[in-house]
Amino acid sequence: MSNPRGRTADNSEQTIRVEIYNQTYSIRSDGDNDYILELAEYVDRKMREISSGTLTVDSLKVAILAALHIADEYYQLKHSQAQTDAQLASRSAECADMLDRVLKHKEAVQQEFDTEQ
pLDDT band at residue 9 under the 50/70/90 scheme: very low
Q: Which residues pair with 20 in a beta bridge?
A: 23
Asked if residue 71 is part of any domain, the answer here is yes
Asked if residue 103 is part of any domain, the answer here is yes
Whole-number Å distance between alpha carbons of 18 and 41: 8
Whole-number Å distance between alpha carbons of 83 and 5: 25
List b or e across 95-112, with b for residues whose CB sees 16 or more CB atoms inside 10 angstroms: eeeeeeeeeeeeeeeeee
Q: At what angle do helices 33-53 and 59-116 cross, to 10 degrees?
A: 120
Asked if residue 2 is part of any domain, the answer here is no
Q: Residues 38-79: pLDDT tens digits?
A: 999 999 999 999 999 888 779 999 999 999 999 999 999 999
pLDDT confidence of residue 73: 98
Asked if residue 44 is part of any domain, the answer here is yes
Asked if residue 84 is part of any domain, the answer here is yes
Rounded to 5, what percent of the chain is helix, strand, coil?
70, 10, 20
pLDDT: is 85 or 109 the higher one?
Answer: 85
pLDDT band at residue 8 under the 50/70/90 scheme: very low
Contact 13, 28 (CB under 8 A): yes
pLDDT confidence of residue 109: 85
Residue 71 identity (one-letter amino acid) = A
For residue 5, pLDDT over 70 is answered with no
Asked if residue 72 is part of any domain, the answer here is yes
Q: Residue 34 is part of which domain span?
A: 14-116
Number of domains in the chain: 1
Asked if residue 3 is part of any domain, the answer here is no
Q: Residues 10-46: pLDDT tens digits?
A: 557 899 999 999 999 999 999 899 999 999 999 999 9
